[in-house]
């Protein structure tokens, strides 16, 4: 496995967002864990929400005195195809999960398990891709330290075959973290922790940008800044329902003909399905005027995402299944009017009618987008409420504090066992 380099960061830089009392409290917790060895394992160093979380979290864990390593798996396209099927099956899509897939999955995990060297106090394994490593190590010399599975998926209604396989791997863990208690299957026999992920307010994706920068970036992709703009930021994935977004856009455009729609999507190396669904979306959009599909293959990075979110009149996230949806908090943080699917972790972020709208259909999505476009005062008031909700609950220091508190509890349990 490859170690991911991360830049230095200081927790003190977050004081303007969360307050000095919070920074002091987190540093005090960190002193009790100083020198603890922590390993994070994920599937990829970039291109998805987990990678973004770790790019912010790992440097701050180091800053407060933990000895932290982040490793990503060695893998191939076949492995990612299989784990995407597993991902979809665990979230309830009618995907086929067969023994041959299990064989390939376990083979890749065995190869990666050989690269776990050294002693760690805490190992956090993110999502299904590397989940078998703990059980594989148990077959040999055994695991060392406390192992935690961090699940970023919605497991409230998994396909039985996929969940049976995954559950058999999780018996080797000491704890599992879920975004909400609803996601935790009732038959999972490990300690459950519940806390949501977070966005990083000091990342290029979330820092303030001047109007001139925003205008230059957005207009550079052919967007007319004098016309209303609807934006969805997400992978090209059936769970994000881009086809439904286009349907809602067509309804609104019949009322506001000048409306434009932009999809911003990251093509992640662990999501081979994304390229297929990009083509499906492009085919649906080809005869619909003023729809733009932009990806990281066209130079869309953090600054461009930031600029488009800031330029948007309304941000949509019409997911039909969603683990959390970091892009919702990103838009709320920027005081944007947000219309999002009433699923998964999104209702944790949006208080319906107060900090945005939660919707359950194409027609309802169109109705709420049209309301926002016709009511700038509502956009402003809900935007202010959304930023405050994110500041209180969904910024990186809160996520860091949740991890530290969990590590402290697990350390106390270890001491009691001795």
Residue-level pLDDT at 368: 98
Shared-domain flag, residues 215 and 358: yes
Shared-domain flag, residues 158 and 307: no
Give the closest residue to 235 by CA, choosing from 267, 276, 273. Answer: 267
Any domain includes 203: no
Shared-domain flag, residues 174 and 246: no
Shared-domain flag, residues 260 and 124: no
353-383 pLDDT, tens digit per residue, is 999 999 999 999 999 999 999 999 999 999 9
For 37, half-sphere exposure in the C-beta direction (CA atoms, 13 angstrom radius) is 7
Any domain includes 204: no
Residue-level pLDDT at 192: 95
Share of the chain above pLDDT 90, in %: 75
Average pLDDT of 221-240?
94
Any domain includes 374: yes
77-91, 271-285, 302-316: which is most confident? 302-316
pLDDT band at 271 (very low <50, low <70, confident <90, very high): low
Shared-domain flag, residues 87 and 143: yes
- DSSP string covering 36-91, please? -EEEEEES-SSSSHHHHHHHHHHHHHHHTT-EEEEEE----HHHHHHHHHHHHHHT
Shared-domain flag, residues 51 and 73: yes
Return phi, psi of residue 324, to 5°: -145, -60
Query: Is residue 418 scored above 50 in pLDDT?
Result: no
Any domain includes 294: yes
Shared-domain flag, residues 292 and 316: yes
Average pLDDT of 127-154?
89
Any domain includes 205: no
Return phi, psi of residue 383, to 5°: -65, -40
Give the closest residue to 153 by CA, choosing from 51, 70, 50. Answer: 50
Other C-beta atoms within 10 Å of 128: how many? 24
Q: Which DSSP symbol is given to 199?
A: B
**For residue 230, what are the CA distances in angstroms to 58, 177, 256, 361, 413?**
34, 34, 12, 17, 50
Give CA angle at 274 (322, 289), nearest 5°: 90
Query: Is residue 336 scored above 90 in pLDDT?
Result: yes
Q: What is the CATH number of the domain that holds 402?
A: 3.40.50.2000
3-state secondary structure of 315: strand
Average pLDDT of 16-36?
96
Lowest mean pLDDT among 189-198, 207-216, 293-302: 293-302
Structure token pair of residue 130 = 């590397």
Shared-domain flag, residues 350 and 257: yes
Shared-domain flag, residues 354 and 232: yes
Shared-domain flag, residues 147 and 230: no
Residue-level pLDDT at 152: 92
Query: Is residue 280 scored above 70 in pLDDT?
Result: yes
Any domain includes 206: no
Query: Is residue 48 scored above 80 in pLDDT?
Result: no
Contact present, 111 and 74 (Cβ < 8 Å): yes
- What is the residue-averaged pLDDT of the chain? 92
Return phi, psi of residue 41, to 5°: -125, 125
SS3 assignment for 337-384:
EEEEECCCCHHHHCCECCCEEEECCHHHHHHHHHHHHHCHHHHHHHHH
Residue-level pLDDT at 398: 97
296-335 pLDDT, tens digit per residue, is 777 788 999 999 999 999 999 999 988 899 999 999 999 9
Shared-domain flag, residues 150 and 24: yes
The number of distinct structural domains making up the chain is: 2
- CB environment 236-260: b (16+ within 10 A), e (fewer): bbbbbbbbbbbbbbbebbeeeeebb
Residue-level pLDDT at 269: 55
Shared-domain flag, residues 371 and 400: no
Contact present, 334 and 379 (Cβ < 8 Å): no
Query: Is residue 270 scored above 60 in pLDDT?
Result: no
- CB environment 331-360: b (16+ within 10 A), e (fewer): bbbbbbbbbbbbbbbbbbbbeeeebbbbbe
Range of the domain at 283: 211-393
Average pLDDT of 109-132?
92
Any domain includes 59: yes
Q: Which DSSP symbol is given to 395?
A: B
Any domain includes 255: yes
């Amino acid at each position: 496995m490859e170690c991911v380099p991360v830049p230095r960061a200081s927790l003190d830089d977050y004081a303007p967002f969360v307050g000095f009392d919070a920074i002091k409290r987190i540093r005090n917790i960190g002193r009790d864990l100083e020198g603890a060895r922590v390993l994070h394992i994920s599937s990829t160093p970039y291109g998805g929400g987990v990678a973004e979380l770790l790019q912010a979290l790992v440097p701050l864990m180091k800053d407060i005195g933990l000895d932290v390593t982040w490793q990503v798996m060695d893998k191939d396209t076949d492995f990612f195809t299989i784990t995407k099927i597993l991902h979809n099956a665990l979230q309830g899509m009618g995907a086929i999960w067969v023994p041959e897939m299990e064989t390939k999955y376990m083979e890749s995990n065995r190869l990666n398990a050989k690269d776990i060297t050294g002693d760690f106090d805490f190992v956090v394994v993110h999502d299904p891709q590397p989940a078998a490593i703990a059980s594989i190590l148990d077959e040999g010399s055994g695991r060392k330290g406390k192992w935690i599975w961090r699940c970023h998926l919605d497991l409230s209604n998994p396909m039985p075959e996929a969940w049976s396989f995954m559950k058999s791997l999780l018996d080797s863990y000491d704890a599992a973290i879920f975004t909400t208690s609803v996601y935790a299957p009732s038959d999972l026999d490990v300690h459950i922790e519940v806390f949501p992920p977070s966005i990083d307010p000091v990342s290029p994706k979330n820092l303030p940008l001047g109007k001139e920068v925003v205008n230059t970036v957005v207009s550079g992709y052919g967007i007319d800044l004098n016309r209303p703009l609807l934006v969805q930021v997400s992978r090209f994935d059936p769970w994000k329902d881009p086809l439904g977004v286009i349907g809602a856009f067509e309804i609104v455009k019949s009322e506001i003909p000048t409306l434009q729609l932009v999809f911003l999507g990251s093509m992640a190396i662990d999501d081979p399905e994304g390229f297929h669904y990009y083509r499906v979306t492009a085919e649906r959009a080809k005869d619909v005027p003023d729809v733009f599909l932009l990806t990281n293959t066209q130079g869309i990075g953090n600054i461009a995402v930031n600029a488009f979110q800031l330029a948007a009149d309304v941000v949509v996230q019409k997911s039909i299944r969603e683990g959390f949806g970091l892009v919702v908090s990103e838009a709320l943080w920027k005081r944007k009017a947000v219309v999002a699917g009433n699923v998964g972790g999104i209702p944790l972020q949006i208080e319906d009618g107060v900090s945005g709208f939660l919707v359950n259909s194409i027609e309802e999505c169109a109705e709420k987008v049209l309301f926002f476009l016709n009511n700038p005062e509502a956009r402003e008031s809900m935007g202010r409420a959304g930023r405050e909700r994110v500041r209180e609950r969904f910024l990186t220091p809160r996520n860091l504090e949740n991890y530290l508190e969990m590590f402290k509890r697990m350390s106390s349990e270890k001491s009691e066992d001795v």
